[in-house]
Amino acid sequence: MEVIKKILANNQSWAQQTAKDDPDFFTALAKVQTPEILWIGCSDSRVPADRITGTQPGEIFVHRNIANLVIHTDVNLLSVLDYAVKQLNIKHIIVCGHYGCGGVAAALSNHNFDLVLNMWLRQIKDVYMLYEDELKQIEDEHKKTDRLVELNVVEQVKHLAKTSIIQRAWKHKQTPHLHGWVYSLKDGIIHPIFEMHPGAEIDPLYVYDDI
């Protein structure tokens, strides 16, 4: 229980210090949130969205899951996406993976994690298969994982563009811009690797008409 006591004590001192530094901080934030960014990141505890981007409470709307996946049957993610795009009018969506991702490494193994986790990691195995020709040339396991981390981010950004939520927003609001980033645990640097802007080409079979 020590850790629980510790983080509650941390919270007390943070709240006091924040109110001291900026007396309006909590009253202003309690009224409204107007974030311009939706962050879809990995659940990994070493990749905190606000810390690594130097942003404050109120600036980023966040969804995190194992290996930052965008799955078109994930009601949780789709609810966050729908709310962020329609109600919050966010301008940018960032899918941020990270080198050395345990979820991606697990998907590259043959380990049986049993039903639920197998089901989740299966999505990453499917990404591997899309790029098998390139990935099977890489012998070093860490390098292979890191390249799949990058390709996984690319595919998840494309998944966003395949949703009617994004296609409707692109058509009527010319937002949001989609960004694929990879964070390096070793030096804390974010590497932007892929972008899709409103009007970008989407595989024709996924384009909805009358939207």
What are the catalytic residues? 42, 44, 46, 98, 101
- How near is the Cβ of 66 to Co ion at its closest, in Å? 7
Contact 97, 181 (CB under 8 A): yes
Of positions 35, 40, 41, 44, contacts Co ion by CB under 5 A: 44
Question: Which residue lies nearer to Co ion by CB, 85 or 107?
Answer: 107
- How near is the Cβ of 43 to Co ion at its closest, in Å? 7
- How near is the Cβ of 182 to Co ion at its closest, in Å? 11
Question: Which residue lies nearer to Co ion by CB, 106 or 165?
Answer: 106
The H or E element containing residue 60 is strand 60-65
Please report whether residue 42 would count as binding Co ion according to CB under 5 A: yes
Contact 148, 108 (CB under 8 A): yes
SS3 content of the chain, % helix, strand, coil (to 5): 50, 15, 35
Question: Which residue lies nearer to Co ion by CB, 67 or 169?
Answer: 67
Site for Co ion in 91-150 (CB under 5 A): 101, 103
Strand partners, 179: 94, 195
Spacing of C-alpha 210 from chain mean position? 29
Tokens at 142, concatenated = 């860490």
Q: What residue ranges bind Co ion (CB under 5 A)?
A: 42, 44, 101, 103
